[in-house]
Amino acid sequence: MMDNADIIDQIVPKALPSRPTFETVTRLQVCERIEPERSTIEAMRFEMPLTERWSALTEPLPLAGATAMRPDAKGGFPALDAVAAAMPWAAALVADVARGVRLQLALGRPWVQFEPVLLVGLPGVGKSWLARRLADALHLPSAVLELGNASDDRQLSGTARGWSNAQPAWPVVTIAATRCANPLLVVDEIDKAGGSAQHGRPHHALLSMIEPGSAKRWPDPCLLGACDLSAVNWVACANTIDPIPTALRSRFRVVELAPPDPTHFDAALASVLGDLAARWDLPANLYLMPPLRAVRLLRRQFADHRSIRLLSRHATAIVGAMLTDGAILTRQ
């Protein structure tokens, strides 16, 4: 039996048109109208009127990713190929995302949009790391929301009008801050989210945001207007799938992310060191590599634990000690 990937490969041609064959839409108005404050007292709760503070939402905002969607001569996407090379144990997911990009182009839609993804795997296998790399490769602004300690849905859904700390929903705030209608939003530790019937459950709120029918006109409790969240790209991360309600689970493409193999060490270390150099704002042509003895130690630890998180922690400590002790980084 063929899976979805096989079917898509047969339907969507590898050879892409150089430009869409029909008129394209590259902007999206997220909120048609923001309800003004109804009284002077209500308006005084905020530094500026809500209609002004969130006015960007009522203007057409760009749908991002077109620059990352330009295929090379072979019909591939070099930035996504680089992600697959950096994380070989996630290559199948990256290939699915590439197929989604190819489909968008075939439909004449030059912006990134893919099916919501739920990454399930043990702590440290690189779930949120992969999500951030995908955002960078696709030229999408991104944000991460930790739901592990959430006791209600306010972090996700925002706070209703009438409270002094009223604020729109997290996706709406991110869209306004990034001036982008299709950011990549990472919801981490979705399996640990709490909540209650009285105070709201993050799982229920998230379902209404990703379900196509309700996402198109999601009612924001602060703005008192319908917001279009249909273009948002969602990646959720969980250690186990069991606590996630079936209705929410069914809206995601569930990907079991296995721990990296010991054979993936070289790719993983190169990725970790690249991230470290970027975080420390080091020049790109500096050669950031621990001595051979340290690399052997990292390789043994990686084979034992198969954890990107531990590899990053240990590599950071080693390279940091090198620099503290006066090691000179060589240029490539």
DSSP per-residue string spanning 10-31: HHS-SS--SS-SS----EEESB
Mean pLDDT, consecutive 10-residue segments, the chain of 332 residues? 53 49 70 76 58 91 92 90 93 94 91 96 92 95 88 81 82 97 96 66 92 95 95 97 95 94 92 86 71 92 92 91 71 50
Using the structure block, give the residue that is written with the tokens 């030229």. Answer: 139
CB atoms within 10 A of CB 92: 12
pTM comes to 0.83
For residue 149, the model assigns a pLDDT of: 74
For residue 7, give both structure tokens: 């079917």
Q: What is the pLDDT of residue 41?
A: 46
At 195 the pLDDT is 58
Tokens of 152: 């209600």
pLDDT of amino acid 196: 52
How confident is the model at residue 48, as a pLDDT? 66
* Lookup: tokens for 117: 């993804």
Task: Give the Cα-Cα-Cα angle 318, 321, 324 (nearest 5 degrees).
Answer: 155
**What integer pLDDT is reported at residue 244 of this predicted model?**
95
CA 305 to chain centre: 25
pLDDT score of 223 = 93
Instruction: Return the axis-axis angle of helices 91-106 and 4-11, rounded to nearest 10°.
Output: 40
* Cα gap 123→259, rounded to integer Å: 9
Task: Give the span between the Cα atoms of 41 and 80, in whole angstroms.
Answer: 51
d(CA 53, CA 42): 15
Q: Which are the contacts of 41, defined by CB distance < 8 A and separation ≥ 6?
A: none
